[in-house]
Amino acid sequence: MQQNKLIAIKCGQAPIDLRQAIEQTLSDAQRSGRPPTITPEQQALLVAKACENRQHSGRPIARWTAQELAKEMVVTNAIPFISSRWVSGLLARLKIRPHRIDYWMFSKDKVKDPNFGARVGKIWCPLIRQTRNEEDTLENLDNVIGQDPNGRFRLLMDNLNTHVSESFVRYVAETIGYSDDLEKKDVQGIVQSVQSNTKFLTDPSHRILIIFTPRHCSWLNQIEMWFSRLKRKVTGAMSFTSIDHLAERMESFIE
């Protein structure tokens, strides 16, 4: 009997009172539901904060994340309580991604500096060698400085020992016309130690200034970023028949 009633309902042959009850249930007006706990005004504040420079908030963070935005809203009393998951959902619906950052090396901003791509996209005097000793370093440095012998240079380097060697310091001193005596290594004077060499090379009054990246912070080194790109696009997924073949492909990529 129960099965016959279900069949009758599906076929539209149920009793009139049952059909009326079903139709009334299905045609019920939309209910308001639970009132929103976050007002449109508060949502607007959240979106504005996500688009704001994080340094203006005074928080020691490198970029906005859903968790950091939720904390910021609560700390500033903009929203009494909000979860990072809710923030993620709102930003996803609005297609706002404050956690995405652009490295200067791959910037697409053509308004602030129309010549940006030409300036940072050129590699001066690439030197491909099987070694990277002091002689290689000095030859590469000499090739770069030779592009503008009287120009001012700001060279970003890591803390490799060849970048603070005695020969490196003597080359820079001779190039900038430093007239004082450098003394002797391990004895006294400017070339006495790595610390004294570093102090000389980082002197801002010199025409050639070396800027060393912090130790254990390779992600700050734009050179490391470039080599990471080289590995992804050239060396990481290819086979080479010889060192000359490898050098040829690297030079083609640079050009």
Tell me the average pLDDT across 33-37. Answer: 68
Q: What is the pLDDT of residues 168-188, one digit of tens each?
A: 988 998 899 888 777 765 555
CB-CB contact of 106 with 228 (8 Å) = no
Q: List, in order, residues 6 or more apart from 216 with CB less than 8 Å away.
A: none
DSSP characters for 99-164? T----GGG----SS-TTHHHHHS---S----S--SHHHHHHHHHHHHTTSTTS-EEEEE---GGGG
Looking from the CA of 250 toward its CB, the CA atoms found within 13 Å total 19
Global pTM reads 0.47
The predicted-structure confidence for 190-231, as pLDDT tens digits, reads as follows 777 888 888 889 999 999 999 887 776 655 566 677 777 778
Q: H or E element: which one contains 209?
A: strand 208-212
89 close to 38: Cβ distance less than 8 angstroms: no
* Domain extent listing, the chain: 40-94, 117-235
In Å, what is the CA distance from 41 to each residue of 36, 50, 64, 67, 82?
Answer: 12, 14, 20, 20, 14
